[in-house]
């Protein structure tokens, strides 16, 4: 609010005499109890004068005697006279002092009453003599303390909270009518305490509009009102935060006046008070985000059936899926764990019809039984966001449906998958804050509570659910000091079984004898399971070392499919704990391997060598896919190691992010960012061909189109790759804590460092590199020497991720 002691002296005098807060008793109309009694008031004067002669002579006769003036003010204020208003009292004092004391060149007077109203801290009038421009004199109501329901977070809407309001209005000595501050306070109290607001901006605007309904403003429509609202204790480490606005009647032309005492009702279900702000455009497809959850029955089958049933509707196309997350029950704990995620739909159905389709799938198709709120369910489908064909958010509240979902911003198991399907800059349509910020805020509040596990569903064996599971937890990044979501689950080991005669380090060692090969698999499994409860066995039948000759398709099939079948039927191998992987870039090999029992396709080409690879994986949503980075082909890859990028990826049409923060072009990350962009291209292609987000694991492709130092840089940048995102116009890719597979085992770059020229002699060195890979964020490490590398991984996990 305006300070009364801020006179800008345009006259000749630069001297001032002050009287600060002189107490007087005055009757200024009825008090807050409607009693006509004297009230305590304070009078402050700022008197411009010229006391140069007094200062030179040290003679008080040549200055204003503030003691005399103060006594005079006390004398002229008669407590038995009803001055009617505080403003009239101020006018009397102002005119008396200015007319009696000729040495007062200019006068600013502030009169205030702290007991003028029980709800206000202070009411004051600020006046000037001689008068300045119109509306300079002001009546100010300060510290009006009210209770109201306000905010966009659920916890804010559990109970009303305090706000303070200051209202600054003209006091016009020329007008026969002036503002009745008692009426202004009553209207503000009645309105605000029956209100239900999301934002202080809406509250402050409404109070201003109501205040301008005073008769004075009808005669003076150009006169302004200033209202300031402070929301108390809204932000930790502050006393309050808020806004102010200045308006005239012209600003509200054509707008309805908010009804005093009859504003929007408080919702008992904590629903945000929103109305539809963007229309669904008929005949044009909209985009909706549907959260799914399942915790009874065959959960993966329930999710897949819900996907298929949505996709089968003529007005719906499922464009993308998120990863799947396993979570603890949030509201009712005594029930099985949930699998959660999100679908992105393109739909011609308006929100209500889409809701009814979801409910039909839940209750009629998947036979959901709702015994109590937030209880077990075969499937739950909730509309959380809805955008029209112009990309505008449709925001609505009805008895049947609320969009955005009112509890979206308190649920990590909804926001986490949603943040994979939207740009990291996407803003919540009600709170106007990035959804990623809301997610990080919830993580920061919960820390170790409600930890999510990202899972890759695999085909059941013997009726047992099998997943690749990657548990995440919030921690503070030591470099950026930011809270980041990182993997804390044990690192998985992938043991290499090469059935090829020409692999770079173990070619021909296993020969063609399937019993010898099976014995090697059993030994690897035993070594790994001593220290972990899962192991991946990667079977390859075609060497992919640079410049190697490629085995014909039939030969690769002969080398791999019988061994996969043998492993899957071996009674001495704990099938539920063994994940079988096929190391191939050929779609036909991948398809036959899946039919034989493979759980994962490890493709060094990232889908570039065979156009049908993504089609095969799309038909098998419970098969994981390791998408590796490569350039060129087996013969040309090592000539394609230039990763320089002129614009650093932040060109005119694209912007790159890491953990939601925009990359600085000056950062020395050209290699990992260029590599990530190229992986993102294949990733988008895979999703467009029907693959599910949850299937994909990233592999930076050590040794493929990368020289020795670049391989080291890739290892140091694993954590960047798994949390990289890029926005290109309306298109984007968001890896968001993607699992990363890395294969350093016996690679040539290790020999460059250690001087070990023979690949098979690099196992001890490989163990050291494995430890570094875990520290930088790898989730799966592919190695030859499983017995010793399993120990290295266990130690690295104990240091970087888990307790012993």
Just list the catalytic residues: 368, 377, 380, 382
CB 711 within 8 A of CB 752: no
Instruction: Decide if 501 contacts 507 (C-beta within 8 A).
Output: yes
**DSSP calls for 740-762:** BEE--TT-HHHHHHH---SGGG-
How far apart are the C-alpha atoms of 353 and 697, rounded to whole Å? Answer: 36
CA distance 228 to 241: 10
Kind and range of the H or E element at 325? Answer: strand 324-327
The CB density around residue 160, as the number of other CB atoms within 10 Å, is 16
Structure tokens at 60: 């008080």
User: How does 455-481 read in b/e, with b if 16+ C-beta sit within 10 Å?
Assistant: bbbbeebeeeebbbebbbbbeeeeeee
The gap from C-alpha 198 to its chain's centroid, in whole angstroms, comes to: 18
Provide the residue count of the chain. 804
Three-state DSSP class for residue 431: coil
Question: For the CA atoms of 315, 321, 327, 332, what is the dihedral angle to 10 degrees?
Answer: -10
Contact criterion met (CB below 8 Å) for 166 and 145: no
Helix (H, G, I), strand (E, B) or coil at 371: coil
Residue 352 Ramachandran class (φ > 0 left, ψ -120 to 50 alpha, else beta)? alpha
| Integer-rounded Cα radius of gyration of the chain | 37
Task: Estimate the share of the chain in helix, then strand, then coil, as percent rounded to the nearest 5.
Answer: 30, 25, 45
Are the C-beta atoms of residues 620 and 594 closer than 8 Å to each other? yes
Residues 6+ apart with CB under 8 A from 713: 671, 672
List the one residue out of 672, 619, 622 whose CA is nearest residue 649. 672
User: Of 322, 328, 329, 327, which Cα lies nearest the Cα of 290?
Assistant: 322
Q: Specify the residue for token string 């009210």.
A: 146
**Beta strands, E only, 348-412:** 380-387, 396-397, 402-403
Contact between residue 787 and residue 795 where contact means Cβ atoms under 8 Å apart: no
Which residue, among 48, 168, 24, has the nearest Cα to 108 in the 3D structure? Answer: 48
């Amino acid at each position: 609010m305006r300070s009364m002691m801020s006179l800008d002296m345009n006259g000749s005098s630069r001297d001032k005499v002050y009287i600060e807060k002189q107490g007087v008793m005055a009757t200024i109309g009825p008090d807050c109890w409607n009693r006509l009694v004297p009230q305590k008031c304070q009078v402050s004067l700022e008197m411009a004068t010229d006391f140069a002669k007094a200062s030179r002579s040290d003679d008080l006769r040549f200055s204003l005697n503030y003691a005399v003036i103060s006594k005079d003010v006390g004398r002229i204020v008669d407590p038995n006279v009803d001055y009617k208003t505080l403003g009239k009292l101020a006018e009397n004092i102002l005119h008396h002092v200015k007319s009696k004391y000729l040495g007062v060149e200019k006068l600013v007077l502030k009169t205030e009453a702290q007991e003028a109203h029980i709800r206000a801290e202070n009411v004051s009038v600020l006046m000037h003599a001689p008068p300045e421009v119109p509306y300079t004199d002001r009546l100010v109501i300060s510290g009006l303390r009210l209770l109201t329901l306000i905010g966009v977070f659920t916890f804010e809407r559990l109970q009303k909270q305090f706000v303070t309001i200051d209202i600054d209005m003209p006091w016009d000595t020329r007008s026969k009518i002036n503002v009745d501050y008692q009426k202004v306070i009553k209207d503000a109290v009645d309105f605000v305490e029956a209100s239900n607001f999301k934002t202080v901006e809406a509250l402050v605007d409404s109070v201003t509009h109501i205040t301008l309904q005073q008769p004075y403003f009808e005669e003076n429509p150009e006169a302004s009102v200033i209202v300031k609202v402070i929301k108390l204790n809204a932000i930790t480490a502050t006393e309050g935060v808020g806004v102010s606005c200045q308006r005239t009647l012209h600003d509200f032309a054509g707008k309805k006046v908010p009804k005093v005492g009859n504003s929007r009702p408080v919702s008992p279900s904590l629903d945000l008070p929103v109305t539809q702000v963007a229309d669904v455009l008929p005949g044009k497809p909209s985009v909706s985000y549907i959260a799914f959850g399942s915790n009874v029955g065959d959960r993966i089958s329930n999710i897949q059936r819900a996907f298929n049933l949505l996709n089968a509707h003529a007005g719906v196309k499922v464009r993308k899926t998120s990863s799947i997350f396993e979570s603890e029950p949030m509201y009712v704990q005594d029930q099985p764990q949930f699998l959660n995620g999100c679908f992105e739909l393109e739909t011609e159905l308006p929100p209500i019809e889409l809701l009814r389709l979801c409910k039909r799938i839940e209750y009629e198709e998947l036979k959901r039984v709702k015994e109590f709120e937030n209880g077990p369910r075969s499937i739950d489908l909730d509309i959380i966001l809805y955008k029209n064909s112009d990309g505008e958010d449709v925001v609505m509240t009805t008895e049947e449906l609320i969009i955005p979902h009112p509890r979206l911003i308190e649920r990590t198991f909804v926001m986490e998958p949603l943040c994979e399907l939207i740009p990291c800059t996407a803003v919540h349509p009600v709170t106007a804050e990035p959804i990623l910020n809301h997610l990080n805020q919830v993580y920061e509040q919960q820390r170790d509570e409600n930890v999510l596990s990202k899972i890759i569903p695999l085909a059941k064996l013997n009726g047992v659910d099998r997943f690749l599971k990657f548990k995440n937890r919030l921690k503070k990044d030591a470099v950026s000091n930011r809270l980041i979501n990182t993997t804390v689950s044990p690192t998985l080991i992938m043991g290499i079984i090469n059935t090829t005669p020409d692999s770079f380090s173990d070619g021909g060692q296993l020969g063609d004898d399937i019993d010898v090969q099976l014995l090697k698999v059993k030994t690897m499994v035993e070594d790994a399971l001593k220290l972990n409860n899962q192991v991946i066995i990667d079977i390859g039948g075609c060497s992919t070392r640079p410049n190697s000759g490629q085995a014909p398709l039939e030969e690769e099939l002969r080398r791999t499919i019988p061994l996969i079948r043998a492993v899957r039927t071996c009674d001495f191998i704990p099938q539920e704990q063994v994940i079988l992987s096929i190391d191939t870039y050929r779609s036909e090999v991948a398809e036959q391997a899946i039919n034989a029992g493979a759980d994962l396709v490890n493709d060094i080409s990232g889908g570039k060598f065979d156009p049908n690879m993504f089609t095969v994986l799309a038909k098998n949503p419970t098969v994981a896919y390791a998408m590796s980075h490569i350039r060129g082909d087996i013969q040309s890859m090592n000539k394609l190691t230039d990763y320089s990028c002129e614009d650093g990826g932040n060109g005119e049409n694209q912007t790159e992010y890491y953990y939601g923060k925009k990359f600085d072009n000056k950062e020395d990350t050209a290699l990992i960012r260029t590599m990530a962009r190229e992986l993102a291209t294949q990733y988008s292609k895979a999703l467009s061909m029907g693959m599910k987000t949850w299937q994909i694991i990233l592999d930076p492709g050590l040794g493929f189109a990368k020289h020795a130092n670049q391989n080291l840089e890739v290892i140091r940048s694993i954590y960047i790759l798994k949390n990289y995102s890029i926005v290109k116009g309306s298109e984007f890719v968001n890896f968001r804590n993607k699992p990363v597979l890395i294969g350093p085992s016996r690679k040539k770059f290790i020999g460059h460092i250690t001087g070990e020229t023979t690949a098979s002699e690099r196992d001890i060195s490989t163990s050291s590199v494995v430890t570094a890979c875990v520290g930088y964020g790898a989730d799966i490490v592919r190695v030859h020497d499983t017995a010793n590398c399993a120990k290295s991984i266990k130690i690295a996990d104990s240091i970087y991720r888990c307790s012993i």
